[in-house]
Structure 1
Amino acid sequence: MDINDEVIKRGVRDDALYVGRLFRDISTHEDGALGWIISFCAIPYLSLFLHEARAKPAAIDPAVFSGFSADAEEICARARHSLKLFEDTKRGIEAQLNYFEDDIRSAHADRFLNNTWLKPAKFLECDLGLYKFRGETISTTHAATFHLGVEPRRLLEEDGGPYVASITQQYGEAFAKLGATFDSGAETFVRHLTKVDFTDRDKRSSRYYKKVFNGDATAALNGILTGFQAMMNFAASIITAGSDASDLEYTVFKIRYLALYTVLASLRLLHDDPKYPLTRSSHEAVRSLIDHPDALLVTDGSGRPFRNTLMHYNLVGAAARTHADLGQPVFGLVPLYFPAHDFESFSVVVDRCVRATARGLNEWANA
Structure 2
Amino acid sequence: METEMRTAAIWQGVISDAEYFGRFARDLQDCTDDFLSSVIAFCMVPYFSLAMHESLQKLEDISPGISSEITSETLAVSARSRHSLKLFEDTQRGINGQISYFRDEIFTAHSEAFLGNTWLPLARPFETDLGLYSYGRRLISTTHAATFHLGFEPRKALAVDSDTYFRETFREYGAFFGSLGADLNDPGPDTFFKSLRYSELSDRDVRARRYYRRVFNGRETPEINATLTTFQALLNFGNLVLTSAIDRQRVDYTDFKIAYLCLYQVLRSLQILLNDGTYGLTDLSAATASSIVNMEAAQTIMKRGAKPFRNTLMHYNLPPSVAMSRVDLSQPFFGLVPIYFPQHDAASFIEMVHQCGTATSAMLDKWGGEH
- TM-score with structure 1 setting the length: 0.97
Contact kept? 1:128, 1:205, Cα under 8 Å:
yes
The residue aligned with 1:78 is 80
Which deviations, in whole Å up to 9, do the C-alpha atoms of 1:204-255 show, x marking residues without a partner? Answer: 0001001000000111111111110001111121111222246431001100
Q: CA deviation at 1:203?
A: 0.5
Are 2:177 and 1:175 aligned?
A: yes
Quote how far apart the aligned CAs of 1:115 are: 0.7
Aligned partners of 1:323 and 1:231: how far apart in 2? 33
Contact 1:212 1:365 in 2 (8 A): yes
Q: CA deviation at 1:161?
A: 1.5
SS state at 2:58 partner: coil
Q: In structure 1, what residue type is equivalent to 2:123?
A: A
Q: Distance in 2 between matches of 1:321 and 1:358?
A: 36
- Aligned partner of 1:336 in structure 2 is 339
Contact 1:64/1:177 (8 A) holds in 2:
no
Residue equivalent to 1:229: 232
Q: Please show how residues 1-367 of structure 1 align to structure 2 within 5 Å.
A: 2-57=4-59, 61-62=63-64, 64-183=66-185, 184-245=187-248, 247-366=250-369
Structure 2 Cα separation of the partners of residues 103 and 122 of structure 1: 22
The SS at the match of 1:45 is: helix
- What whole-Å deviation, never above 9, does each CA across 1:153-172 have from its counterpart, x for those lacking one? 11111111110111011000
Query: Within 2, Cα distance between the matches of 1:358 and 1:64?
Result: 39
Please list every run of 5 or more consecutive structure 2 residues that lacks an aligned counterpart in the other structure. none
CA–CA distance in structure 2, aligned partners of residues 113 and 320 of structure 1: 58
Residues 27 and 190 in structure 2, CA contact (< 8 A), matched pair in contact too? yes
User: Is the contact between residue 60 and residue 66 of structure 2 (CA under 8 Å) also seen in structure 1?
Assistant: no
| Alpha-carbon offset, residue 274 of structure 1 | 1.6
AA in 2 matched with 1:312: H
Percent identical pairs in the alignment equals 45
Distance in 2 (alpha carbons) for counterparts of 1:90 and 1:79: 14
Task: Please list every run of 5 or more consecutive structure 1 residues that lacks an aligned counterpart in the other structure.
Answer: none
CA contact 2:59–2:66 (8 Å) conserved in 1:
no
Kept in 2: contact 1:113–1:126 (CA 8 A): yes
Task: Give 3-state SS (helix, strand or coil) of 1:47's partner.
Answer: helix
Change (3 A) 1:317 1:63: closer
What is the CA-CA distance between 1:341 and the residue it aligns to? 0.6
Q: Quickly say closer, same or farther: Cα 1:63–1:19, change in 2 above 3 A.
A: farther
Q: Moved runs in structure 1, 4+ residues, more than 6 A? A: none
Tell me the CA shift for residue 275 of structure 1: 1.3
**Higher alpha-carbon deviation: 65-74 or 151-160:** 65-74
Secondary structure of 1:248's counterpart equals coil
1:5–1:106 Cα change, 3 Å: same
SS in 1 for 2:322: helix
Distance 2:260 2:252 in 1: 12
Report the number of matched residues. Answer: 367
Report the alpha carbon displacement of residue 362 of structure 1 after superposing the two structures with TM.
Answer: 0.2
- Root-mean-square deviation (CA, aligned residues, Å) is 1.3
Amino acid corresponding to residue 188 of structure 1 in structure 2: T
Alpha-carbon displacement from aligned partner over 1:290-313 (angstroms, at most 9, x marks no partner): 000010001111100000000000
129 and 43 in structure 1: CA distance in 2 versus 1, 3 angstrom threshold: same
Retained in 2: the 8 A contact 1:54–1:60?
A: no
- Helix, strand or coil at the partner of 1:131: strand
Amino acid of the structure 2 residue aligned with 1:158:
V
Deviation at 1:63, TM superposition (A): 5.0
Question: How far apart are 1:30 and its partner, in Å?
Answer: 2.1
Aligned residue identity for 1:338 = F
CA distance in 2, matches of 1:232, 1:248: 19
Deviations 1:116-157 (A, max 9, x none): 121110011000000000111100000000000000011111
